[in-house]
Amino acid sequence: MRQSIRFLRRGRVVEIGGLDARTTLLDYLRLIERSVGTKEGCAEGDCGACTVVLGRLRGDRLSYEPVNACILLLGQLDGAEMVTIEDLASPEGLHVVQEAMVARHGSQCGFCTPGIVMSLFALYHGDRPVSRDHVNDALAGNLCRCTGYRPIVEAALEACTTPPQDAFIARRATTEAALAALDDGEDVLAEEGDGFFAAPASEAAIAELYEAHPDATLVAGCTDVGLRLTKDLARLDQTIWLGRVQGLDSIDEGPEALSLGATVSHLHARRALAALDPDLGELMRRFGGVQVRAAGTVGGNLANGSPIGDLAPALIALGTTLELRNGERIRSLALEDFFLAYRKQDRAPGEFIRRVVVRKPIAGAAFRCFKVSKRLDEDISAVMGAFHVALEGRRIASARIAYGGMAGVPKRASAAEAAIACASLDEPASWQAALEALSRDFTPLADQRASAAYRALVAQNLLFKALTEIASGGTHETRIGAWREMPDAAE
C-alpha cells in the first residue's frame, strides 16, 4: 500500500503524501506550486482557461490529453505526466504552437491564451491529418471573448498540420520509461486527519474499500464531482478514485455486444461507439469539449443519474445492461431499470458500476439518436431522443424509443413504442398515433433550457425525423450537416 501519490513533472517524480482529498489540480498549481500561467475562469469546466495536458501511457504509447484543472483532483495525477503552459517554451524559443499564435495574432487580452495553447499542444501531439473541423472540435472547450476564433484557428492549422517535432517528442522514450516505472500496481491510500484519497489498483480492492466506507465519494473523471467542490463547496473528505483500477478502462468487443469498463473515458469510447452507429459517434463528439471527454467516463455519466445525461437514452434504446459489484457479489441490471426517480438510482451502499454492456444494433434494424441543445458544441441537452427500430421489409416490427430531458429520469416511451408497431415506413399517417402517444409517456418540465411545450414538440419532431430518415434511407433532407458521413475526428 502506497501512502502518497506520484506524478511526473518536468522530468522528475513529484511525491505528495498527507493529501487533502478535496485539493483540485488548479489550486495545487496556483496556490502551492505557484505556476499561475494556468488561469481560473468559470471553475466549472466550461471555459477552458485552466486547461493543462496530462501525458499517460495508453497501452505502451504515450498520449497527451487536455483536461480542465479546475475540476480535476490533484490525486488524479497519480501515474501521469503533467504539462502546463510554463513548460512549452525553451531557452531556444517559443513552442511551435505559441509561435503560430503570435504570428497569426491569436491573442488580445491573453486570459484565455494559456488554455488555448494547451488545447492546441494536445492537438499538435495527436493523430494526423488535422483538418479545420478537427481544430474547431479541439477548441470547442475553450472560450475566447475578445480575439475571435479566426486567427486562433489559422494558428492551429499552421502549427498542427505538420508532423510533431518538439522537445516532448525528443524525450518521448525517457518519458514513457518514467511513466512505466510509476505504474507499480500498488493500492494508494493518502490520509489526512479523518479523510483520505484512495486509488485502488484492482476491482477487488475497490470492492473491499467501498464496502468498508460506503459513505465515501467515488470519483471517476470528476467532471461532475468537481462541480460539487467548486460550486457547492461540498466537504468530500473521503474519496475513492477509480482511475487506477486495472481493467476497468478496457473495451471488449464480442459478436453481439460491446463491453465498456466503467472508467472508459468518452474520448476512448467514441471510436468504439461510432463503429456501432455513426450517430453514436456524433453524439460523443458533441459531448462537452475535448477536456470533458478526456476526463469524463461512461460509468460516471450513467451513475450520476442525470435526466439530461447524453449516454443513457442512446444506450437504453440499444438494450444496454449494467454490471454492478458490491463486495464479492456481481449482478446485471437493465440500464432502464437503474433509474428509479430523479437522481435516485438502484445502487446499494458500497455498490459500484463495473461494466456497461452495450448490445449492438440488431440486424435489419435502424438506429438514430439526436441531441437538441442551445449550442451545437459543449452544451448539455434540452432533449435527447434515441430510436432503435426493427424492420420487416417496409413495416416496423418493433421499436425501442428512449428520451432524456423529458422526465426526472432517462426513460423509454412505452406508449409510443406500442403505437408505432406495425406502422408502415411508406405511410407517414400511420406514425401519427405514436407521435400523439408521446404525450401519455411524458409530462416534461420547464426550466432554463426549455419550456415544457417546447420539449413536448421537440420530442414529437425527433421521432418524426428519425422515421423520415429511416424511410428515405438518407439524412441530407433532415440535417444541417451530413454528420453520418463525416470522417472520424483525430482524437
Residues 359-388 that bind ligand FAD (CB under 6 A): 380
Size of the site for ligand FAD (CB under 6 A): 30
Q: Give the separation between CA 476 and CA 472, rounded to whole angstroms.
A: 10
Of residues 411, 435, 408, 409, the one with CA closest to residue 423: 435
Q: Contact between 217 and ligand FAD (CB under 6 A)?
A: yes
Closest approach of ligand FAD to the CB of residue 234, in Å: 11
What are the helix and strand counts (H, E) for the chain? 18, 20
Q: Contact between 319 and ligand FES (CB under 6 A)?
A: no
Q: Are 225 and 268 in contact (CB under 8 A)?
A: no
DSSP symbol at 354: E
Q: Contact between 398 and ligand FAD (CB under 6 A)?
A: no
Out of 41, 55, 300, 444, the only residue in the binding site for ligand FAD (CB under 6 A) is 300
Q: How many CB atoms lie under 10 A from the CB of residue 419?
A: 22
Out of 41, 114, 278, 296, the only residue in the binding site for ligand FES (CB under 6 A) is 41
Of residues 115, 109, 117, 101, the one with CA closest to residue 150: 101
Per-residue interface string for the shown chain with ligand FAD, residues 328-347, x marking contact by CB under 6 A: --------------------
Decide which of ligand FES, ligand FAD, none touches 352; Cβ closer than 5 to 8 Å per partner kind: ligand FAD
Decide which of ligand FES, ligand FAD, none touches 48; Cβ closer than 5 to 8 Å per partner kind: ligand FES
Per-residue interface string for the shown chain with ligand FAD, residues 61-100, x marking contact by CB under 6 A: ----------------------------------------
Decide which of ligand FAD, ligand FES, none touches 220; Cβ closer than 5 to 8 Å per partner kind: ligand FAD
Q: How many CB atoms lie under 10 A from the CB of residue 446?
A: 11
Residues 56-75 that bind ligand FES (CB under 6 A): 68, 70
Question: Which residues fall within 8 angstroms of residue 43, CB to CB, at 6 or more apart?
Answer: 26, 50, 70, 71, 230, 231
Which residue type does 428 have? P
Closest approach of ligand FES to the CB of residue 151, in Å: 10
* 195: helix, strand or coil: strand
Q: Residue 79 or residue 106: which is nearer to ligand FES going by CB?
A: 106
Q: How many CA atoms, within 13 angstroms, populate the side-chain half-sphere of residue 267?
A: 20
Q: How far is CA 428 from the centre of its chain?
A: 36
Q: Contact between 157 and ligand FAD (CB under 6 A)?
A: no
What Å distances lie between residue 374 and 378, 409, 450, CA to CA? 10, 21, 9
Enter the C-alpha cell of residue 127.
Answer: 493523430
Closest approach of ligand FES to the CB of residue 283, in Å: 22
Q: How many CB atoms lie under 10 A from the CB of residue 173?
A: 10
Binding site for ligand FES (CB under 6 A): 40-43, 45-50, 68, 70, 107-113, 144-147
Binding site for ligand FAD (CB under 6 A): 44-46, 217-225, 242, 262, 287-288, 292, 295-297, 299-301, 303-304, 309-310, 352-353, 380
